[in-house]
Amino acid sequence: MATRLDPAERREQILDATLRLVARDGFAGVTLRDVAAEVGVVHGLIRHYFATREQLVAAAFDAAVLAESVQDDELAERLEPVAALADWLSTTPREHYLVWIDAWSEAPRNAELHAALTRHHRDSDLRLARIIERNVAAGAASSDDPEADARMLTALVDGVAVQHHALGLIDEAEADRIVFAAAEARLAMQPGSLARTRPTPTRGQWAAAH
């Protein structure tokens, strides 16, 4: 018999179980019955919280990215502007990006996941724009439109991540060289400044952590 939990705790338990299954099997491979078995509850209990599989996987992705965003923002605030930008742009762990790549693939078939992805991409662009603004204020960069620069750099980071993590066409060092060089050129930064200040990568751990 499943341990009795209050609704908030049970919902979090279900979301954590879903994340573990997504990291292992991908979004398309997760079913409500799989999640129920992972939690150790009857199938009907999952439906009490999430009516459809699509709602469940979207909510799990949403919760994980929101938690990661808090960690990202806290780290960015602790770092100097150039180091914060280097951390943001540097290669994240493979487990993290494979989940994002899988989410992009699943989104056309899952309206809830598509909405969550869209929202998080926009939020991510705005957070990166704020980091760019900090670099401009510190005299380390130049930008007439930080939000446009953030969108361009996010698109580049995502494309490079696919080549690195999904296809293996480039290694981690080359991935960072490509992105850092493009960012320095786009933002009129001193060449090599991002690589020199890059901290130990700490972003993108949620998929592995669960």
Higher pLDDT, 168 or 72: 168
Residue 124 has pLDDT above 60, yes or no: yes
Structure confidence by residue, pLDDT tens digits, 89-119: 998 877 777 788 888 988 999 999 999 999 9
Q: Higher-confidence residue: 77 or 150?
A: 150
Residue with tokens 């989940």: 99
pLDDT score of 129: 97
* Of 98 and 136, more confident: 136
For range 30-38, the mean pLDDT: 91
Residue pLDDT, tens place only, 166-186: 889 999 999 999 999 999 999
pLDDT tens, residue by residue, 143-170: 999 999 999 999 999 999 999 988 899 9
Q: Can you give the residue ranges of every domain in the chain?
A: 54-198
The CATH number given to 54-198 is 1.10.357.10
CB burial of residue 194 (10 Å; 0-12, 13-18, 19+): buried
Cα pseudo-dihedral 87, 92, 177, 122, rounded to 10: -70
Q: Tell me what pLDDT residue 3 has.
A: 60
Q: What pTM value is reported for the model?
A: 0.84
Asked whether residue 205 carries a pLDDT value surpassing 80, the answer given is no
* DSSP letter for each residue of 120-187: HHHHHHHHHHHHHHHHHHTTS---S-HHHHHHHHHHHHHHHHIIIIIS-SS-HHHHHHHHHHHHHHHT
